[in-house]
Structure 1
């Protein structure tokens, strides 16, 4: 059995090749490492062997998870940290080995599932907007502070502006103007992120497909869909990274 685990700064996502459900757990929850480790140990006991592929931009959390799960699962689970050399993609950046592994895995998954060229938007702690050209080469991209990061910065840098919960608030951001402070923050930040994505797509030569993944994917994709100025198709794929890890042919 193959398990793909995407360890981010905000969440840990786990996909199992034979299951449709993806488990998403918050890194900040002190029980997350123990809970994921127990799940992996149970699967290892049930199936006899696990091939666990880990892609991480959070080295501390990934190390703790692998150590805890290995202790419970023993030799029935093989853990492998995925790096650039494990991925079937050319990387045309100044420093290929420094590109976030989640960005490269997402590019591999998007290129396998959609026509090229395309843009991959990963809307998580940060929002990365990356180009995969018509030859399947990862060409780099841009990094924007994520929705939660921007609202946290506003709250920390001002006396009166509150923090908001994007997980429950995105559907309420439909008006042309914000009629209260929270609505104005939502509208301003989301418009800035989505407007930035649209500008970057044009800068990249206007590929006709944009694949959106990450914790805030539904919010960002829905807002992109409502944009009257976009000239590309929007494809929502919330768990692209861990799903790609679970289906890599290796």
Structure 2
């Protein structure tokens, strides 16, 4: 059993994980991070190691305190990857490395897959049947879309995401919800169709903080996997621990 940690842009997730099963899971903050890690370690004293993926900001002292509690494996570009990276940028984000690895841990041999992560941004990541990672797309997430409408106009209110029953808005509020929720849902559907044209049997995973809300608006066939990031972090730890 190890402690798996995802330091994202909007929240920190920690989980006691054993053989790809999430035994204990919680969200925490930078302020409570160390105390919550200590609490999990106290509950599961067999935890001696942690695997960490960081894309959000956190005080370096917090990481140093964590390293005094357990041995920490960090997701970084130099680690061994279970896929061939064909991305042309000099670096691939740690979160995308973890997501791709989580999907690979779930697919069968010679299956291709598309991972849709609906968080602060919506990312699309494609892996072909030979485990080549090609990249995909990055798009604004729900919160960014709501904030953009509010921040870059004079009179539109700042709303919070919610499911919609009708795509035709009959007020400013319902029109904003339709434009944001239905707009992103249609984007996702169109993106899935594009990838299905490349491979009709492609396996589609959807994860991220807004995945559950968006899934109610989508009728495309995909696998909703709320812990895909954590599974990928665990998989990368296992993949690298004997090197």
Q: CA deviation at 1:246?
A: 3.0
Given the superposition, is the C-alpha separation of residues 178 and 33 from structure 1 closer, same or farther in structure 2, using an over 3 Å criterion?
same
Question: Which of 66, 83, 103 matches 2:96?
Answer: 103
Give the one of 52, 75, 84 matched to 1:82.
Answer: 75
Query: Contact between 2:101 and 2:233, CA under 8 Å: does it hold in 1?
Result: no
CA distance in 2, matches of 1:63, 1:39: 17
Instruction: Report deviation, 1:67.
Output: 3.2
| TM-score, normalised relative to structure 1 | 0.82
Give the Å deviation of 1:100: 1.2
Q: Find out whether 1:23 has 2:14 as its counterpart.
A: no
Contact kept? 1:154, 1:161, Cα under 8 Å: yes
Pairwise mapping of residues 35-184 of structure 1 onto structure 2 (< 5 A)? 35-45=32-42, 47=45, 49-58=47-56, 60-61=57-58, 63=60, 65-70=62-67, 74=68, 76-84=69-77, 85-95=79-89, 97-115=90-108, 116-166=111-161, 169-170=162-163, 173-184=164-175
The CA RMSD over aligned residues, in Å, is 2.2
The CA distance in 2 between the partners of 1:209 and 1:180, in whole Å, is 38
Name the counterpart of 1:29.
none
Task: Give the Cα–Cα distance (whole angstroms) in 1 for the partners of residues 122 and 158 of structure 2.
Answer: 19
TM-superposed CA distance for 1:237, in Å, is 0.6
| Residue pairs, 1:203-242, within 5 angstroms | 203-204=194-195, 205-207=198-200, 208-225=202-219, 230=220, 233-242=221-230
Match of 1:13 in 2: 13
Provide the C-alpha distance between the structure 1 equivalents of 2:203 and 2:5, rounded to a whole number of angstroms: 26
Compared with structure 1, are the counterparts of its residues 68 and 91 closer, same or farther at alpha carbon in structure 2 (3 Å cutoff)? same
For residue 135 of structure 2, give the secondary structure of its aligned residue in structure 1.
strand
Distance across 1 between alignment mates of 2:50 and 2:80: 14
Q: Deviation of residue 190 (structure 1)?
A: 2.0
Q: Flag as ranges the 4+ runs of structure 1 deviating above 4 A.
A: none
CA contact (8 A) 1:56 1:62 kept: no
Matched residue SS, 1:194 = helix
Question: Does 1:33 pair with 2:27?
Answer: no
Instruction: Indicate the SS of the match to 1:127.
Output: strand
> Tell me, which stretches of 5 or more residues in structure 1 are unaligned?
26-31
Q: Is the 8 A contact 1:2 1:52 kept in 2?
A: yes
Q: Deviation at 1:53?
A: 1.2
